Amino acid sequence: MAASVVFVCTGNICRSVTAERVLQSHLERSGAEAVVDSAGISDEEAGNPIDPTQARVLKTAGYRTEDHVARQITSEWLAERDVAIAMTRRHYRALQNLIADLPAEVRPQLRMLREFDPRVAAEKAVDAPAPDVPDPWAGQLKHFEETLEIIEVSVPGLTDYLHSVAEQTR
Chain mean position to CA 114: 10
Q: How far is Cα 6 from Cα 76, in angstroms, rounded to an integer?
A: 12
The catalytic residue among 9, 107, 111, 117 is 9
Active-site residue identified among 14, 15, 21, 71: 15
Annotated catalytic residue 127: no
Q: Tell me whether residue 9 is one of the annotated catalytic residues.
A: yes
User: C-alpha distances in angstroms, 72 versus 40, 43, 76, 127, 170?
Assistant: 5, 5, 11, 30, 29
**Is 15 in the active site?**
yes
Which one of 81, 93, 101, 135 is the catalytic residue? Answer: 135
Give catalytic residues, as residue numbers.
9, 15, 135
